[in-house]
Structures are given as C-alpha cells and as structure tokens.
Amino acid sequence: MNPHQAKVSVVVIGYDDAAHVADAVRSALAQGPAVREVVAVDDCSTDGSGALLDALAEGEPRLKVIHRTVNSGGCGSPRNDGIDAASAPYLMFLDSDDVLPPGAVDALLRSAEEHDVQVAAGLCVRRELPSGREVPWERALYTRPTLISRPSRRPRLTHDTLCVNKLYRTDFLREHGIRFPEGRYPYEDFVFTARMLAASPRIVLIPETVYIWHVRRSADRLSISLDRADVGNWRARTEANQAAYEILLNAGEKQLARAVHAKFLDHELRMYTRELELRTPEYRSAWWDLTRAYLSTFDAADFTVNPAAPGRLVARVILACPTPTDLPRLKELAARPARLLPPYTRDGEGTPVWSAELPQVTLEHFLGRAAHLLPAAVDAELRPRARGTRLRLRLHELYGRMAEAGPTSLDVEFVHREEGRVGLSRTAALVADRYGDSWSAQTPVDLSALGAGVWDLRLTLRFRDGTSREVSAHALGGPGLLRRSAIPDLRHGVLLVQPYRTHAGALGLRTASGWRGMTEVVSRRLRRLLH
C-alpha cells in the first residue's frame, strides 16, 4: 500500500458528547495520510458539540461536519448519513466517546488490499475508565491473521456484533444496501452485522488492536449496553437478535442463523440471568415472560446440540417453569466459569434432574461428559484474622463424576481486578471428606503481601489424569463471613479487608492499606450513602 494514498473515510457519530468527541476525531485524523476524510455526524446535540466540531474543521481540511436537524434517538441514522457522505473507497465507524489506537487504519487497510477483501476486522479492547483496565472483545477470533472466503466457514463471526472494529469497502456496503436500522433502535450493530454477513463477503481478521471501546460505568448517561436496569433494554436485545437471525436465515445462511441463537444462549442469556436477583419482582416477572416467549421460537436443535452448555441449561429451566424460579442456582450456573450448586437430584429411575420440582429438565448428559468440562461447584470462605488469614475451599460431588475423575488439588490465585496482576499464588491439596460427597482444601492468604485493591479469586481444579478445569468459587454468606475488618499489619500499620460476593455469586476481596486508605474507603462509603 502506498502510504500517501488516502483511501479511508472514518465516520464519527456523536450526541451531546462535547467532553469526548474532539478526542475521537483527533484519534481518527492522527491515523495519517491513509485517512482521506473524517466525517463527523452531530446528531442534533444541545451541549455545543456541533460548534466544537465546526471549530475543529476550520483548521483541518480533512474534517467534514454534518449537522442533523432532528435527533434520531439512536446510532443508526447518523451512521447511515456517514455512509452516504463517504467519498473514500473504504470506511470505518467510530463513536464519539471512543478512540482509534495509532496504526489502526494502516493495519486494516494493508490487510484489506493485500487479500482483496470486502471487510477487514481487528481486535477491539474494552478499556474500563478511570482504571484503564483493558479486556479484549472476542479475543478467540483475533489470535492470528486469518482469511475467510465466506462467513459460513467461521460461524463464530456472529459473536462479534461490533461494527466499529472493521474496515468496509464502501461500494460493497452500497451495492448490497447494508445499512443500519433508522431512528431509535438499540443494538443496531446486531442488524448491520447480520446484513453484512448475509452478503457473504471475503473477510480478513488481524490480531492487531484497532479500536478502543471506552467503558464509563459512572457516566451520567450510560451507554445502551450498560443501561440494563429497564426491561425494555432486554426486549430490544431479543428483538435485535431475532432480526439478525431472520436476516441470515432468509439469506440461506442457516448455519450462521443458528450461530446467532447459540451466541444468545451463551452470552446474552447468561449475562442478564446473573443480574436477575438485583432487579425488582416486577422486572423479573416481565423479563421471564419475554425470555420464555423468545426462547419458544428457537428450534429444538438449538438446545440439543451441546446440551451440557450452561446457557442451554438455563434456557431449558426457564422454558420449563412459567414463573421465575431457582434464581440463586441459575445465577451461579450463568457465571463464568459456570457453577452448578447442590442439590443434585435424581428422579425415580435414577436419572439426574435439575430439581424435584422440575424433573423434566434432565441432566443425564453430565454422565457422559468429561469431568473437566462439567460445571463444578466450589464453595469459598475467607475469614480475615490478625494472626493469620486462611482461605477454605470445598468442592462438591456431581453425580459421581468428581469421584470418578479424582480431584487432587486447587491452584489458587488472587488477581488484581484493574491491573490484571497476580498478587498471590498457591496450590492447595484436596482431601476427601468423611462421607465422600465433597473435598476440602485450605491455604494461608498473606493479606499484607496483597496490599490495596480489588481482587478476584481464580481457581484451577486438577484431576489425577492430568486434566484441569478453571472454576470460580461460590462465596459462602452468613453472619460474620462477609464483613469489613481492620487487621493490624506491620508493613502498612493497618489493613481494611472485606470479602464480598460479586453479582455472579463469586468470592471477591477488597483491601485498603494504611490509615489513609481506610479514610478513603470510609469517605467513598459516606458519599454513596449521601447520594
């Protein structure tokens, strides 16, 4: 590629985002001479975003500003405006609160031209702000350069519903009428991506990071994907999934359509199920009804292929019961990694079932599945003590499969949530309990060495045949088990320690070191109470 040939239009959309839109535009312009133009579409902002863009355009001839006269209520219409206005052979999309990392456009354009494809896609990372912690999006797709002659050869593509980490040939989008839904249409990416895949383009995947998705959970106005407190968000998500399914099915791409359903069961259904206990009874009832109605449109094969998958089991329980049921167990099953908590019930013929109340939800597929693939359940208890803190763990039997596999030990790690570093690493031997229905392990936890932060507990269960499984730990509750403690410490003077239960029911740990750290924790708590 000649670096001096300007071949890419970057479409930036924004509404009332004066605080961030300039950074987004500058990150696009900074991509260099490959960018012919940045098309900034202001969706009738009221906070001065339009004037800010106009001021930037006065000193930058590559910046073209489009002012919508009526707010669209969504992201689709302004992006469609950008498609119409783009003059370069290729285009890509950028949201006003995100940025393109250096070299993103060059990497995508180089691969698109080298392989003569209609779509080039790269890795997107979710950057949590203000911590800066980065989490790759659909990392499995972007481990190495890959040329895909048609999307049906890689059904996993349906899992990457983002439109922003991709470079498209402009004439390909226009020729096939690939556009976003107009107006307010949450999850418009789902529909656009389905239309793109239905057109059967050649696609190249590259491992380079090409998009930084900023996640601001404390923002006054949450993004659509984070604002899940209203059941309307779930309704919109199911409708967008259904639209994507129908687009692919009508295009003759049945395998991709079924992959949309598989993605829904493994991703969306599990994510929202983990949060159900946080919602009001009215929300839970409405969510349950919507979910049952949507799942009833699925084919039987959507549940029978890999029936041991956690999302499929969650779906079968929901379909079997007309009202919300067993939410604590469903939440744990929907966790990552999944945990199936006791009781482990059998019907009158000895077949494993979900519960005595739902014997029609059978679990016989567990009996033929390798133990290291099963949703093993581990309980965890951490009691901070001045004279030594110990982590106690208990692995439950699962229809005889754990004993058959012979669990030997648990690798224990406390991982800093924001920094991703391992603060403590141990291996704890598992010892069978008297009655043979569980195994126990314990290990010391050096709280002083951990220091301040929020820590996730990660476990690896090892079996005697050398196989292993990553497991997460169910946080035991009850009086005194999940409370804040001040522990004297020679290194820090004092440590403020609190084991806690995450939204998915797992054990986590918060620590603050020194008197200053304690003061900050108390101040944050007071601010939350006052607000």
Residues 90 and 210 in one domain: yes
Exposed, middle or buried by CB within 10 Å (0-12, 13-18, 19+), for 217? exposed
Q: Six-digit token pair at 137?
A: 């999006």
What is the SS3 assignment for 382-446? EECCCCCEEEEEEEECCCCHHHHHCEEEEEEEEEECCCCCEEEEEEEECEECCCCCEEEEEEEEC
Residues 344 and 406 in one domain: no
Q: Six-digit token pair at 256?
A: 């991709």
Please check whether residue 478 lies inside any domain of the structure: yes
The whole-number pLDDT of residue 4 equals: 47
Residues 210 and 82 in one domain: yes
Residues 153 and 253 in one domain: no
The whole-number pLDDT of residue 285 equals: 97
To the nearest 10°, report the CA torsion of 173, 177, 180, 184.
160
- The yes-or-no verdict on residue 295 having pLDDT over 90 is yes
The whole-number pLDDT of residue 530 equals: 47
Beta bridge partners of 493: 489
| Residues 367/352, Cβ–Cβ less than 8 Å | yes
Q: What is the pTM of this model?
A: 0.90
Beta bridge partners of 67: 42
Number of neighbours of residue 435 by Cβ within 10 angstroms? 7
Percent of the chain's residues with pLDDT above 90? 78
- The yes-or-no verdict on residue 281 having pLDDT over 70 is yes
Q: How far apart are CA 68 and CA 403, in angstroms?
A: 65
Please check whether residue 263 lies inside any domain of the structure: yes
pLDDT single digits (tens) 189-226: 999 999 999 999 999 999 999 999 999 866 555 555 55
Please check whether residue 456 lies inside any domain of the structure: yes
The whole-number pLDDT of residue 529 equals: 47
DSSP symbols for 285-346: HHHHHHHHHHHTTS-THHHHSSTTSHHHHHHHHHHH-SS---HHHHHHHTSSS---PSP-EE
Q: Which of 368, 393, 428 finishes a domain?
A: 368
The whole-number pLDDT of residue 517 equals: 52
Residues 87 and 208 in one domain: yes
| Residues 53/25, Cβ–Cβ less than 8 Å | yes
- The yes-or-no verdict on residue 39 having pLDDT over 60 is yes
Residues 75 and 211 in one domain: yes
Please check whether residue 239 lies inside any domain of the structure: yes
Q: Six-digit token pair at 475?
A: 């946080």
| Residues 496/521, Cβ–Cβ less than 8 Å | yes
Number of neighbours of residue 475 by Cβ within 10 angstroms? 22
Q: Nearest 5 degrees, angle CA 337-CA 339-CA 340? A: 150
| Average pLDDT of span 482-491 | 75
- The yes-or-no verdict on residue 525 having pLDDT over 80 is no
Please check whether residue 79 lies inside any domain of the structure: yes
Q: Six-digit token pair at 24?
A: 């987004």
Please check whether residue 196 lies inside any domain of the structure: no
Residues 313 and 413 in one domain: no
Please check whether residue 194 lies inside any domain of the structure: no
Q: Which of 321, 340, 368 finishes a domain?
A: 368
Residues 127 and 153 in one domain: yes
End-to-end CA distance of the chain: 55
Q: At 379, which helix (H) or strand (E)?
A: strand 378-383
**Amino acid identity at 18:** A
The whole-number pLDDT of residue 436 equals: 78
Q: Which of 316, 335, 368 finishes a domain?
A: 368
The model's confidence at residue 520, banded by pLDDT at 50, 70 and 90, is low
Residues 47 and 113 in one domain: yes
pLDDT single digits (tens) 155-166: 999 999 999 999
Q: How far apart are CA 276 and CA 529, in angstroms?
A: 24
The per-residue pLDDT of the chain, averaged, comes to 91
- The yes-or-no verdict on residue 528 having pLDDT over 50 is no
Q: At 65, which helix (H) or strand (E)?
A: strand 63-67
- The yes-or-no verdict on residue 142 having pLDDT over 70 is yes
128 to 95, 115, 516: CA distances (angstroms): 16, 34, 25
What CATH number is given to the structural domain containing 106? 3.90.550.10
Q: How far apart are CA 528 and CA 520, in angstroms?
A: 12
Please check whether residue 181 lies inside any domain of the structure: no
Tally the domains of the chain. 3
267 to 143, 215, 260: CA distances (angstroms): 20, 18, 10
The model's confidence at residue 452, banded by pLDDT at 50, 70 and 90, is confident
Least confident of 46-50, 53-57, 156-160, 306-310: 306-310
The model's confidence at residue 3, banded by pLDDT at 50, 70 and 90, is very low
Residues 211 and 253 in one domain: no
Domain boundaries, position 256: 231-368
Residues 420 and 285 in one domain: no
Residues 31 and 158 in one domain: yes
